[in-house]
Each structure stands twice: as structure tokens, then as C-alpha cells.
Amino acid sequence: MNVKVEVKGDFHKKRSLWKQKAWLFLKITVIVLIISFLVRGFLFTNYIVYGQSMMPTIHDGERIIVNKIGYEINEPNRFDLIIFHATEDSDYIKRVIGLPGDVVKYVDDTLYINNVSHEEDFLHVHKEAHDNGLFTENFNLLEITGEKEVPPGYVFVLGDNRRNSLDSRHIGFIPIEEIVGKANMAFWPPKKIRFF
């Protein structure tokens, strides 16, 4: 007497189940990659800060999150921390000081915008530690840029470490179209996580 054992069906079921799981995993992976690409490409990105021009607000080597969509909807605000294309090879992080139409000057370590003095609370730590003359040298836009006011479509930016910053005093006005986005938070190292 011959007895046939049917194992073919079990094998096909297991193989079919494995294919379904592999296909599901592949779909999830593709969806996650697409979402990551879209978020990184159009909404948020991260940067590593190099240099000391934004100290003490942001330190050398810190990693920050940049909101790329905000300025597609709104214009930059005064004192925003922005990332912009400074050269073909490098992006800078600086603070917006002057908006289009603003007349900007510094007199005796005081910021004047349109002849109104403005407090810069983010500079107090630096100013207290600094005792060698002015923290921000006196200047007005006409002296350093040849323009009386910030032109339409541009902003005037400064680093928070005024004595060690390559900013609009040296490179001129920044076209708004060259702004990558607004720095929202520092996330690395973990013990220094904070929002700006």
C-alpha cells in the first residue's frame, strides 16, 4: 500500500506568507524613505555649527534643526536665527538685525533701528564677560555698505559673538531668497537640547 504525504501545500503557504511579509516590509521602507526625503528636503533639515560666531547662543559642534518651510509662508522677523547660503560651498548661521527698509546703526554698544534703541538680551552674557572696549563697534549702514537702509528683498545679519563674526558688516546684505530657513532648536549634544 502506497501512502502519499502532501507537503507541497504547506511549502507554498509558507513561501506565500514570506513573500507577503517581504512585500509589506519593502512598502513600509519605501514609504518611510519618501517621507524622510520630503521632510528633509522641504520641511526640516539639520546642520552642524562650525565656529564661534554665534556663541554663547550656539556653540561650535552643536547640531541644530532648521525649519525650511517657515519663510515660504512668512518673511523673516527681527532677531530670528537664520541659515543662509553665504557661498557656493558654505552656509552661515546669523541673527537677523535689519529688515527691508530699516536704517541700522550702533552707537556706544547700543543697537538703533530707525532711530529707536533696541535691547539685545541674547548678548548680555557676552557683554558681561567682555571688558575691552565696545562689544559691537560703532557703525552705520552707509559707512559699511554704501546704502542708507536695508534694500527690499534683503536682510542685515550679525553674529552674536560680534568681535568674532563674519557677517553683513563684511559680506553685505543677505538676499531673502538665499535663506535656507530658521534655526528652531539645538538637539546635540543631548544635555544641551533647547529651543531658540
Q: Where are the domains of the chain?
A: 49-195
Cα atoms in the Cβ-side hemisphere of radius 13 Å centred on 20: 6
Query: Which has the higher per-residue pLDDT, 47 or 155?
Result: 155
- In the chain, pLDDT over 90 holds for what percent of residues? 18
Give the pLDDT band of residue 104 (cuts 50, 70, 90).
very high
Give the chain's mean pLDDT. 79
Catalytic residue ranges: 53, 94
Give the pLDDT band of residue 137 (cuts 50, 70, 90).
confident
Q: Which CATH architecture has domain 49-195?
A: Ribbon (2.10)
What helix, strand, coil percent values describe the chain, rounded to 5?
35, 30, 40
Q: How far apart are CA 189 and CA 193, in angstroms?
A: 7
Encode burial over 119-149: b for 16+ CB neighbours within 10 A, e otherwise: ebeebeebeeebeeeebbeeeebeebbeeeb
Query: Which has the higher per-residue pLDDT, 108 or 185?
Result: 108
The answer, as to whether pTM is greater than 0.75, is: no
- Please write the tens of the pLDDT for every residue from 53-79: 877 777 788 887 788 777 777 888 899
